Structure 1
Amino acid sequence: MLLSLFGAVESGLIYAIMALGVYLSFRVLDFPDLTVDGSFVTGGAVAAISIVNGIPPIMATVLGALAGFIVGCITGIIHTKGKINALLSGILMMIALYSINLRIMGQPTLSLIKETTVFKQLEVIWAKSGMDSFFNGLLQSLGADRVPSTWVIVFFMIIVTLAIKFLTDYYLKTEVGLALRATGDNQKMIRSLSANTDSLIIVGVGVSNGLVALSGALITQHQSVANVNMGIGMIVIGLASVIIGEALFGKRSIAIATIAVIGGAIIYRIVVTLALRVDFLESGDMKLITAILVILALVTPKIIQARKEKKRRLRKRAELTSQAEGA
């Protein structure tokens, strides 16, 4: 159980980067972007083929993120310049990316088991430092009989994810970021102030998919395999992370909203991991579990709010009744 939770936190931190990208497009920009399912694979495909061809893993990861940014910009251009519905633009790009990703990899599945990845490099450095044995011994003393992954991946991903979170917060508070948020709230108003909303949408969707592709590049190296179908359902997972995080932690400010998204991604992976340990559930039920989680995250706050409102009305009625009786 402990090892499963450890692995869930590890993967949750990587998927949190993808969830931040989804948050930018869906919540900040109000752009229903389905490119995510394709750009996630694009990031992984570019990183994988780059590593196979001898490019250093860190540079390969950056190239994967850059490819996602370009893909997102194309989606934005199709929507703004081609005057195509935002939802349809994402669908068209997602479909096109299936073939493009196949072209990039040259085959449906590309293995990195024999290649050096970012995480393998980190594990080597961590093992040489002696910290690996210390933390593995600590984990085993808590009841784990084996350690499937090292602590360094969790520490590394905490640093990377939080760095991206703070950069996102800073970006959304800059002049361009404020204009981006205003575009998502009211395009007509921001356009009346002579702002170029088309450019803002293109850049915003580009940054969003860049983060998604970065997550895809990291997941590919974490799993040591890139698959053309690994992006299926990513948009649902991203939305689930956003909705769960907002339901549990709120969204009173940008800083709280982004940390809520990260928390939502981790909690999502933990809940899925625990659910799959139930005897009657199988790995193929993960999409069903995701759908149920999203429904609960959407419905539960409304039920709680309705109960609070009902109690408030009853209390108000009681106060009015007592006042009337006293008069």
Structure 2
Amino acid sequence: MNLVSFLGAIEIGFVFALVALGVYLSFRILNFPDLTVDGSFPLGAAVAATLIIDGVDPYLATGLAIVAGMLAGLVTAILNLRFGILHLLASILTMIALYSVNLRIMGRPNLALITEPTVLTPFEGLGISGLYLKPLFGAVVIAVVALLLGWFLITEYGLGMRATGANPRMARAQGIATAKVTATGMALSNGLVALGGALFAQMNGFADITIGTGTIVVGLAAVIAGEAIFRVRGVVMAVAACIFGSIVYRLAIAFALNADYLGLTSADLNLVTAVLVALALILPGARNPFKALLARRNGVNGGGGGA
């Protein structure tokens, strides 16, 4: 794997770390299986790209993309909380609807941003090569988001959100408005995902209706990989694990696709993804033969001493 592929994987890893954080909020904190992210990721890209082409400031366009993602998360929450639709089905309905919404926003299946100003434009005059500028910008953004999210989850409201996901009945008994907290969490989750989509479009120079396909799998892979590596304890560590897991996942994908002896191509991306996610799920629970042997040996020695 050459330097370009390595830095490209780091750049995409930072972008999808935002997706991982959003997935962590919905799946882990709120215990809400949410497939809306497959629609809110391209929604963020579509809103940002369309507004930038129309002459809107890239930073304002990115902010409005976040708002659009939050609204998408609210729709899913309302379908579940107000109308009693199963959370998984509610998110699927929103995701399907967003496909048409994204097409309406863009007016066509894809938009090009190569000649348009982006959030990176103010920094291009610093003399930093674009090869390094994008990963550095992504690192700064994800660091700010991670600090804010980590702080939020240890505030009183954040603790209420964690309690809602862990035990809604007990949370309600403690006076927590679980419906409002859940809706807020879903909005934040999809807002983060939409931010990832907006940055993806601006860093790669295009927005496409299909870029959201499999986003939920990528987000889950990052969360699971990070938790498997870090053995997470506490939300602050979990936030860091999501970011690290996203980068590791992207590096593993890049290594697999660039390893000539494996004979893999970009067409095998979904296969590689499935294998990596399966390994991340299997390995933490796999039995360690050396640990088992040591335990048996200690048991035998302890039994002999007692006799």
Per the normalisation by structure 2, the TM-score is: 0.95
8 Å contact 1:52–1:115 — kept in the other structure? yes
Cα deviation per residue 1:208-245 (whole Å; 9 max; x = unaligned)?
Answer: 00000000000001111111111000000000000111
C-alpha distance in 2, partners of 1:170/1:74? Answer: 26
8 Å contact 1:75–1:89 — kept in the other structure? yes
2:286 corresponds to which of 295, 303, 308? 303
1:285 aligns with 2:268: yes
The Cα of 1:321 is off from its aligned counterpart by 3.0
Alignment-derived partner of residue 166 in structure 1:
147
C-alpha distance in 2, partners of 1:155/1:293? Answer: 26
C-alpha distance in 1, partners of 2:75/2:50? Answer: 22
Aligned residues: 304
8 Å contact 2:7–2:132 — kept in the other structure? no
The Cα of 1:319 is off from its aligned counterpart by 2.6
The Cα of 1:89 is off from its aligned counterpart by 0.7
1:314 corresponds to which of 296, 300, 304? 296
- Pair 299,173 (structure 1): closer, same or farther in 2 beyond 3 Å: same
The Cα of 1:269 is off from its aligned counterpart by 0.8
The Cα of 1:291 is off from its aligned counterpart by 0.8
Q: What percent identity do the matched residue pairs reach?
A: 44
Cα deviation per residue 1:85-135 (whole Å; 9 max; x = unaligned)?
Answer: 111111000000000010111111111122111123322x222xxxx2xxx
Alignment-derived partner of residue 140 in structure 1:
none
Alignment-derived partner of residue 91 in structure 2:
90
C-alpha distance in 1, partners of 2:69/2:161? Answer: 19
Alignment-derived partner of residue 275 in structure 1:
256
C-alpha distance in 2, partners of 1:298/1:23? Answer: 16
Alignment-derived partner of residue 146 in structure 1:
none
8 Å contact 2:4–2:131 — kept in the other structure? no
Amino acid at match of 1:109: N
C-alpha distance in 2, partners of 1:72/1:109? Answer: 23
C-alpha distance in 2, partners of 1:79/1:103? Answer: 25
The Cα of 1:178 is off from its aligned counterpart by 0.4
Cα deviation per residue 1:263-312 (whole Å; 9 max; x = unaligned)?
Answer: 111111111011101331110111111111011111111115x5466235
Amino acid at match of 2:70: F
Residue aligned with 2:207, SS: strand
1:258 aligns with 2:259: no
Gaps of 5+ in 1: 137-148
Amino acid at match of 1:315: R
Residue aligned with 1:118, SS: coil
Amino acid at match of 2:34: D
Residue aligned with 2:293, SS: helix
Amino acid at match of 2:51: S
Alignment-derived partner of residue 126 in structure 2:
126
C-alpha distance in 1, partners of 2:65/2:270? Answer: 26
C-alpha distance in 2, partners of 1:312/1:101? Answer: 57
C-alpha distance in 2, partners of 1:156/1:221? Answer: 12
The Cα of 1:23 is off from its aligned counterpart by 0.7
Q: How does 1:75-114 map to 2 (within 5 A)?
A: 75-114=76-115
Amino acid at match of 2:156: E
8 Å contact 1:126–1:152 — kept in the other structure? no
Amino acid at match of 1:68: G
Q: How does 1:236-255 map to 2 (within 5 A)?
A: 236-255=217-236
Larger Rg: 1
Amino acid at match of 1:185: A
Alignment-derived partner of residue 24 in structure 2:
23
C-alpha distance in 1, partners of 2:294/2:160? Answer: 38
1:323 aligns with 2:305: yes
Q: CA RMSD in A?
A: 1.4
Gaps of 5+ in 2: none
The Cα of 1:191 is off from its aligned counterpart by 1.1
